[in-house]
C-alpha cells in the first residue's frame, strides 16, 4: 500500500524526537521517509539518517512550508505518486497512517487530513473558529500537519504559486480548494508533543502575527477560481 508513498517530515532542531518518529513509521509501514532539515543547528540530520530516513538539508531556514515544498519537489522528481506529511515532534501516530492514507489511496479524495479537534488550548480553539469563518474553509482541523496528498495535489503544491504560502494550514488548504481538489478529514488521536512547544502559539506576539497573516491569507483566497 505504501509502495509509491514518500513520507515527508520537516524538521528544525528536532534531534530529540525525530528518531523515534522515523523508526515507528518505517516499522509500521516500511515506507520511505524523507526528513527535510530546515537549517537545524543541532544534529537532526545525522540522527535522522541513522534512524533510516533520507535527508534533504536546506542551506537557509525556509520555515515549515518551504521545507515541505522542497520535499514535495523531491518526491515528484523521484517519481513518487503520493506524499504523506508528518510532524517531527511525535504528535502524529504512525499507527494512523493506514487510515489516513486510505481515502487518497482509494481515489476517494485528493487530500486527506488527520484531524484532532480536541487538542489545543482554549485560545487555539477560538482562533480556529475565527479562521474557519473568515476563510470559508469547510474543514474542522485546519492546522493539522498530518496529511496525505495524491499526485495532483503534490504537483499543485510544488508549483511556483504555492511557494509563499507561509504556514501550511490556511494558505495551503485554500489554494487546494480554489483548484477544486477534494479534501477529506479522518479523525485521529494526537499525542502531546514529546519535546518542544508549539512554535506558533508560543507567545501572544507570535499568535497575533500568525492570526493576522492567516486571516489575510484565508480571506483573500476565498472561493473557487
Partner 1 sequence: MSHVNWISATIGLLTAGLIFYLVRRDHLHTRYALWWVPVAMVMAILGVFPQIADWIGRTLGISYPPVIPLLLGLVAMVVKILVMDIERSRNEVKLTRLVQRVAILEKRLEDRLSKGGKTD
Residues 4-43 that bind partner 1 (CB under 8 A): 32, 36
Phi-psi region of 90 (alpha: psi -120 to 50; beta: other; left: phi over 0): left
- Which one among 123, 164, 212, 216 touches partner 1, defined by CB under 8 A? 164
- Which one among 163, 202, 203, 220 touches partner 1, defined by CB under 8 A? 163
- The nearest distance, CB 50 to partner 1, in angstroms, is 12
Q: Which is nearer to partner 1, 123 or 164 (CB)?
A: 164
Number of residues that bind partner 1 (CB under 8 A): 19
Residues 89-108 that bind partner 1 (CB under 8 A): none
Q: Which is nearer to partner 1, 55 or 207 (CB)?
A: 55
73 binds partner 1 (CB under 8 A): yes
Going by C-beta distance under 8 Å and a sequence separation of 6 or more, which residues neighbour residue 62?
38, 39, 70
Q: Where are the alpha helices (DSSP H) in 30-62?
A: 44-50
Phi and psi at 46, nearest 5°, equal: -65, -45
- The nearest distance, CB 170 to partner 1, in angstroms, is 18
Q: Which is nearer to partner 1, 7 or 115 (CB)?
A: 7
Going by C-beta distance under 8 Å and a sequence separation of 6 or more, which residues neighbour residue 99?
186, 188
Going by C-beta distance under 8 Å and a sequence separation of 6 or more, which residues neighbour residue 134?
215, 218, 219
86 with 18: CB under 8 angstroms?
Answer: no
Distances from the Cα of 123 to the Cα of 7, 202, 222, angstroms: 30, 12, 24
66 binds partner 1 (CB under 8 A): yes
Read off the C-alpha cell for 111.
Answer: 487530500
Read off the C-alpha cell for 52.
Answer: 533510516
Stretch that binds partner 1, among 67-75, 82-90, 97-105, 171-179 (CB under 8 A): 67-75
- The nearest distance, CB 37 to partner 1, in angstroms, is 8
186 binds partner 1 (CB under 8 A): no
Which single residue is written with the C-alpha cell 477544486? Answer: 180
- The nearest distance, CB 77 to partner 1, in angstroms, is 7
DSSP code for 95? G
Q: Return residues touching partner 1 (CB under 8 A).
A: 32, 36, 54-60, 62, 66, 69-70, 73-74, 77, 160, 163-164
Amino acid at each position: 500500500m505504501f509502495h509509491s508513498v514518500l513520507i515527508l517530515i520537516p524538521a528544525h532542531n528536532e534531534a530529540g524526537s525525530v528518531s523515534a518518529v522515523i523508526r515507528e513509521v518505517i516499522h509500521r509501514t516500511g515506507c520511505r521517509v524523507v526528513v527535510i532539515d530546515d537549517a537545524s543547528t543541532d544534529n537532526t540530520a545525522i540522527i535522522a539518517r541513522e534512524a533510516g530516513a533520507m535527508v534533504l538539508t536546506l542551506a537557509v531556514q525556509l520555515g515549515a512550508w518551504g521545507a515541505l515544498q522542497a520535499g514535495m519537489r523531491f518526491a515528484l522528481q523521484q517519481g513518487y505518486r503520493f506524499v504523506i506529511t508528518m510532524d517531527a515532534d511525535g504528535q502524529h501516530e504512525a499507527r494512523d497512517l493506514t487510515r489516513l492514507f486510505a481515502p487518497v489511496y482509494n481515489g476517494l479524495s485528493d487530500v486527506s487530513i488527520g484531524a484532532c479537534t480536541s487538542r489545543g488550548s482554549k485560545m487555539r480553539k477560538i482562533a480556529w473558529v475565527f479562521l474557519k469563518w473568515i476563510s470559508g474553509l469547510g474543514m474542522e482541523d485546519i492546522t493539522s500537519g498530518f496529511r496525505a496528498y495524491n499526485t495532483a495535489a503534490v504537483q499543485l503544491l510544488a508549483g511556483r504559486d504555492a511557494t509563499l504560502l507561509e504556514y501550511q494550514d490556511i494558505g495551503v488548504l485554500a489554494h487546494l480548494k480554489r483548484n477544486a481538489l477534494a479534501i477529506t478529514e479522518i479523525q485521529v488521536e494526537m499525542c502531546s508533543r514529546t519535546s518542544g512547544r508549539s512554535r506558533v502559539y508560543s507567545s501572544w506576539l507570535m499568535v497575533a502575527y500568525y492570526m493576522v497573516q492567516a486571516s489575510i491569507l484565508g480571506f483573500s483566497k476565498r472561493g473557487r477560481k
